[in-house]
């Protein structure tokens, strides 16, 4: 957008130069001491004054006056009158005058053609120029500049080589005006080499030619050349104008050469161009890109505010640099000014509402959008959909989606991402297949979102299919997509496939390393996770917060205290990463599971902010394992203060009192649970067989095979007891007999799913189960034994991690 504004402005500048020269040139040749000519001359002067005074009626009134007096104007003065009409866009009068002029010359043609050209009447302009050629008028440099500008405007810049040949034939190629027009035309079609050849051929280059060439380099991304030429121009004594400076700034931006940019800024200050719209806008861009948003803001405040561009740019940069409040404030200020926002302004301010998750503001902006009638604009409607999706009103997004006539890939992605973030993977995947049906090309955003959706599914099949689609469309080479593939395979329990994807990547970034390290850690494969971390440190990828979450959880999963301590220290010392709550939680859990309660407590004391519920829950888990009842009760109280409805913690607290035989406390915990209506989230497990997903709730009796399943469970119970299984009834909170408690334990959803799997899934394959909650102690112990009895691998993904049960042991080492 800026480019077009810039070009037209530049061309207009060149045009003004051309015209000014023609008029001065003619006026000197007029013998102003001659009486008639003096009249013509004085009329011409008055007309030019009328133009300067912006008085549109003056042309016509002068014209009447002249006609009344009956004294004809000379050709020069008539051309000035023609120019006056053209200047005030009175093209009917201009054409009439042109047709009635007793004598016309090249200047008359050029004046009218220029007027037609700059007011968008290209064919009239071209027609006039062709007539000039046909009727044999003088073809001077002004004809060429007008023609070249016209070709650029008609988007026919690539035909300028034919004009070039003619220019060369008539020997105008060294003329600075023609040369500059020619190089600008070559610049537009990206022919930088030809532009430079023309530039080198211009003798007596003026500031406009230098500017043209600097701009040509900058517009065509030859940023270094642009800056070199800019320096050369200055050393040769040419003072750059606002266009030169803004082109140089653009190149600084392209090269991210912010220091150079500041020196160009200095140059703009010296030349008093810092308040110019183009220079100011380019400076805003530069400072915003370099992250100096405060500087950008100061510049903005000093700029004239009657143009949309600086407002729009500043709002966009605020919205993109997590300064959403500032974006909104500026938008409000803008609404109080006379400047009218366009689709880009609305899209940016809506982006700010999205970041603030402010539905209310989003709705207010929506009504302003409707008022100015921009709701059907695809950028605006995409941004609106995003606000509603991120603020939890996906139904409104869907309404806008259905209504939008112009849907691009961003439109589809917005809704798909919206569903993925809501955790509705199935809807996201349905939309994805619709998108493919409409022949819309998915992008890396689409692929990474639908892979994320697939990673929460029980079935691996959708993930695999999307993987093969990415291979077909070559998107598997894209690092964002490949990273999502690693994550999807790891979360779907296929850590080997995740590793394969990781190994095949050409270019890995931090996210790739994090995905594989966290993947291994989640699968309890701590050694692999730590080996990969060592490998990562030998690359250019810098570990970040998330890397250390993976590393520390690998250490805590494997009980590696020394390594854990070393990495925890090194994080701040060697990498300057302040530990956040996830890191503290890993360390507390690591210390706690090894019984180092004093150190764990001290570490919690060192946390520079309010410890979250996660930290207390981790320590509580450790206390339960080590039967540290006193500390356990303290932890449980902390958890319940923050999350009074946490059923698992109520159960643990009650069990701790029961261990101490303090039945009054047990009763009061239960009473309290009833009073505040704590509801246990029902356990739910999924298992897939031949593409069909089977769901089991705790105590389920609805499955068609339920009789077989309970028979299988009875057999498993018998076999496990023979192998030494003793049910841990403390898991069951209900006030029932132990026999009943045992029966309830065997109806836990993961055991139902397991029994189903043992009946239906062929013996050679592993059984994969997903559970919505943490797996309970008793199921964990039972399933360990079952894996030995049935000689099969059983994989359970619970809310936190994967448990690989095989040969009677679990990959988590009984700490989870």
Q: CB-wise, 190 or 559, nearer to Zn ion?
A: 559
CB-nearer residue toward Zn ion: 366 or 780: 780
Rounded Cα distance, 526 and 586, in Å: 13
Q: How far is the CB of 650 from Zn ion (least distance, A)?
A: 17
8 A C-beta contact, residue 247 and residue 224:
no
Q: How many helices (H) and strands (E) does the chain have?
A: 43, 6
Which range of residues in 444-452, 457-465, 757-765, 804-812 is near Zn ion by CB under 5 A? Answer: 804-812
- Tell me, residue by residue from 697 to 736, as one string, x for binding to Zn ion by CB under 5 A and - for no binding: ----------------------------------------
Report, in Å, the least distance between residue 626 CB and Zn ion. 18
Of 142-150, 151-159, 228-236, 798-806, which segment contacts Zn ion by CB under 5 A?
Answer: 798-806
Q: Does 803 bind Zn ion (CB under 5 A)?
A: yes
Q: Is 748 a binder of Zn ion (CB under 5 A)?
A: yes
For Zn ion, the closer CB: 303 or 810: 810
Size of the site for Zn ion (CB under 5 A): 6
What residue has token string 């619709």?
A: 434
- Closest CB to Zn ion among residues 172, 780: 780
Tell the smallest beta-carbon distance from residue 746 to Zn ion (Å): 9
- CA–CA distance, 147 with 473 (Å, rounded to integer): 45
DSSP 769: E
For Zn ion, give the closer residue by CB, 508 or 748. Answer: 748
If binding is defined by CB under 5 A, does position 753 make contact with Zn ion? no
Nearer to Zn ion, 71 or 809 (CB): 809
The mark string for 393-432 relative to Zn ion (x by CB under 5 A, - otherwise) is ----------------------------------------
Residue 776 near Zn ion by CB under 5 A: yes
Closest separation in Å from C-beta 803 to Zn ion: 3
Closest contact distance (angstroms) between CB of 778 and Zn ion is 5
Cα distance between residue 258 and residue 116, in whole Å: 42
Specify the residue, 394 or 752, whose C-beta has the smaller distance to Zn ion: 752
Q: Is the CB of 103 or the CB of 726 nearer to Zn ion? A: 726
Nearest of 280, 335, 287 to residue 310 by alpha carbon: 280
Q: 412 is written with which tokens?
A: 């589809």
**Which two three-digit tokens encode residue 567?**
């990495």
Selected range binding Zn ion among 193-201, 390-398, 504-512, 807-815, rule: CB under 5 A: 807-815
Please report how close the Cβ of residue 663 comes to Zn ion at its closest, in angstroms: 25
Is residue 334 within 8 Å of 315, Cβ to Cβ? yes
Cα separation, 427 vs 449, whole angstroms: 12
Specify which residues 693 forms β-bridges with: 688
Give the per-residue SS3 of 630-698.
Answer: HHHHHHHHHHHHHCCCCHHHHHHHHHHHHHCCCHHHHHHHHHHHHHCCCCCCCCEEEEEECCEEEEEEC
The DSSP letter of residue 358 is: -
Q: Is the dihedral of CA 126, 131, 136, 138 positive or negative?
A: negative
3-class secondary-structure state, position 797: strand
Q: Candidates 65-73, 448-456, 461-469, 777-785 — which segment interacts with Zn ion by CB under 5 A?
A: 777-785
Min dist CB 814 to Zn ion, Å, is 6
810 binds Zn ion (CB under 5 A): yes
Binding to Zn ion by CB under 5 A, coded x per residue (else -) over 477-506, reads ------------------------------
Q: What is the smallest separation between the CB atom of 568 and Zn ion, expressed in angstroms?
A: 24
Give least dist CB 727 to Zn ion, A: 10
**Cα(345)–Cα(357) distance, integer angstroms:** 18
Q: How far is the CB of 514 from Zn ion (least distance, A)?
A: 23
With contacts defined by CB under 5 A, name the span among 192-200, 328-336, 626-634, 796-804 that binds Zn ion: 796-804
Please report the sign of the dihedral spanned by the C-alpha atoms of residue 418, residue 421, residue 425, residue 429: positive
Nearer to Zn ion, 238 or 802 (CB): 802
* Rounded (10°) angle between helices 425-437 and 444-455: 140
| Nearer to Zn ion among residue 482 and residue 783 (C-beta) | 783
* Rounded Cα distance, 18 and 813, in Å: 85
Pairing label, strands 692-697, 684-689:
antiparallel
From 63-71, 72-80, 585-593, 801-809, span contacting Zn ion (CB under 5 A): 801-809
Q: Binding residue for Zn ion (CB under 5 A) from 428, 779, 781, 795?
A: 779
Least gap, CB of 525 to Zn ion (angstroms): 13
SS3 per residue for 526-557: HHHHHHHHHHHHCCCCCCCHHHHHHHHHHHHH
d(CA 228, CA 324) in angstroms, rounded, equals 38
- SS3 readout for 572-617: HHHHCCCCCHHHHHHHHHHHHHCCCHHHHHHHHHHCCCCCCHHHHH
Min dist. Cβ of residue 651 to Zn ion (A): 12
What are the residues binding Zn ion (CB under 5 A)? 748, 776, 779, 803, 810, 812
């Amino acid at each position: 957008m800026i480019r077009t504004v810039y070009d037209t402005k530049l061309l207009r500048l060149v045009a003004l130069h051309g015209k000014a020269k023609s008029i001065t040139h003619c006026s000197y040749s007029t013998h102003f001491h001659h009486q008639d000519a003096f009249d013509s001359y004085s009329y011409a002067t008055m007309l030019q004054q009328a133009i300067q005074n912006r008085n549109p009626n003056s042309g016509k009134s002068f014209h009447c006056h002249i006609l009344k007096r009956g004294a004809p104007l000379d050709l020069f003065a008539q051309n000035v009158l023609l120019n006056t009409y053209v200047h005030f866009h009175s093209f009917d009068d201009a054409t009439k005058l042109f047709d009635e002029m007793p004598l016309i010359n090249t200047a008359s043609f050029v004046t009218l053609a220029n007027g037609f050209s700059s007011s968008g009447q290209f064919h009239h302009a071209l027609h006039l120029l062709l007539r000039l050629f046909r009727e044999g008028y003088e073809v001077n440099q002004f004809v060429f500049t007008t023609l070249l500008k016209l070709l650029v405007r008609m988007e026919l810049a690539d035909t300028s080589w034919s004009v070039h040949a003619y220019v060369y034939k008539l020997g105008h190629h060294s003329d600075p005006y023609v040369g500059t027009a020619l190089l600008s035309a070559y610049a537009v079609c990206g022919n930088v080499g030809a532009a430079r050849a023309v530039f080198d051929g211009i003798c007596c280059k003026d500031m406009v030619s230098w500017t043209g060439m600097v701009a040509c380099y900058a517009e065509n991304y030859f940023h270094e050349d642009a800056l070199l030429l800019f320096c050369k121009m200055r050393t040769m004594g040419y003072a750059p104008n606002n266009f030169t400076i803004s082109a140089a700034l653009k190149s600084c931006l392209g090269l991210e050469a912010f220091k150079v940019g500041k020196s160009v800024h200095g140059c703009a200050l010296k030349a008093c161009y810092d308040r110019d719209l183009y220079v100011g806008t380019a400076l805003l861009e530069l400072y915003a890109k370099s992250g100096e948003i405060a500087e950008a803001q100061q510049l903005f405040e000093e700029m004239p505010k009657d143009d949309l561009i600086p407002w729009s740019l500043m709002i966009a940069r605020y919205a993109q640099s997590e300064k959403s409040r500032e974006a909104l404030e500026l938008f409000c200020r803008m609404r109080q000014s006379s400047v009218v926002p366009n689709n880009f302004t609305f899209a940016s301010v809506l982006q700010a509402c999205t970041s603030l998750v402010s539905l209310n503001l989003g709705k207010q902006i929506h009504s302003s959008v409707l008022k100015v009638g921009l709701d059907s604009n695809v950028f605006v409607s995409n941004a609106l959909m995003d606000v509603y999706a991120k603020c939890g009103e996906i139904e409104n997004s869907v309404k806008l989606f259905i209504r939008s006539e112009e849907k691009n890939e961003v439109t589809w992605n917005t809704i798909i991402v919206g569903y993925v973030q809501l955790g509705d993977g199935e809807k996201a995947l349905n939309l994805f297949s619709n998108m493919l049906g409409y022949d819309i090309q998915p992008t890396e955003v689409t692929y990474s979102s639908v892979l994320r959706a697939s990673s929460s599914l029980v079935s691996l099949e959708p993930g695999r299919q999307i993987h093969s689609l990415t291979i077909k469309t070559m998107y598997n080479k894209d690092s964002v997509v490949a990273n999502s593939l690693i994550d999807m395979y790891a979360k779907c329990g296929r850590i080997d496939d995740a590793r394969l994807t990781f190994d095949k990547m050409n270019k890995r970034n931090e996210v790739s390393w994090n995905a594989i390290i966290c993947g291994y850690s989640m699968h309890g494969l701590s050694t692999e996770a730590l080996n990969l971390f060592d490998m990562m440190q030998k690359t250019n990828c810098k570990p970040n917060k998330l890397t250390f979450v993976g590393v520390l959880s690998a250490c805590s999963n494997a009980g590696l205290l020394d390594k854990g301590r070393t990495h925890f220290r090194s994080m701040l010392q060697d990498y300057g990463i302040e530990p956040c709550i996830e890191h503290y939680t890993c360390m507390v859990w690591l210390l706690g599971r090894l019984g180092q309660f004093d150190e764990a407590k001290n570490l919690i004391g060192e946390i520079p902010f309010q410890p979250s519920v996660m930290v207390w829950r981790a320590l509580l888990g450790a206390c339960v394992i080590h039967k540290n009842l006193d500390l356990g009760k303290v932890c449980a109280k902390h958890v319940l203060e923050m999350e009074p409805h946490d059923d698992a913690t109520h159960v643990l607290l009650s069990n701790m009192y029961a261990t101490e035989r303090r039945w009054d406390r047990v009763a009061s915990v239960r009473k309290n649970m009833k009073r505040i209506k704590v509801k246990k989230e029902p356990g739910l497990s999924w298992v897939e067989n031949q593409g069909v997903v089977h769901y089991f709730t705790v105590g389920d009796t609805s499955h068609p095979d339920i009789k077989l399943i309970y028979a299988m469970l009875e057999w498993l119970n018998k076999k496990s007891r023979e192998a030494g299984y003793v049910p841990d009834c403390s898991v069951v909170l209900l006030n029932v007999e132990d026999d009943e408690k045992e029966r309830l334990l065997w109806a836990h959803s993961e055991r139902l799913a397991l029994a189903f799997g043992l009946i239906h899934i062929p013996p050679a394959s592993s059984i994969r189960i997903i559970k919505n909650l943490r797996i309970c102690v008793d199921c964990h112990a039972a399933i360990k034994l079952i894996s030995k009895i049935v000689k099969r691998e059983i994989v359970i993904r619970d809310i936190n991690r994967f448990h690989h049960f095989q040969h009677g042991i679990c990959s988590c080492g009984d700490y989870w």
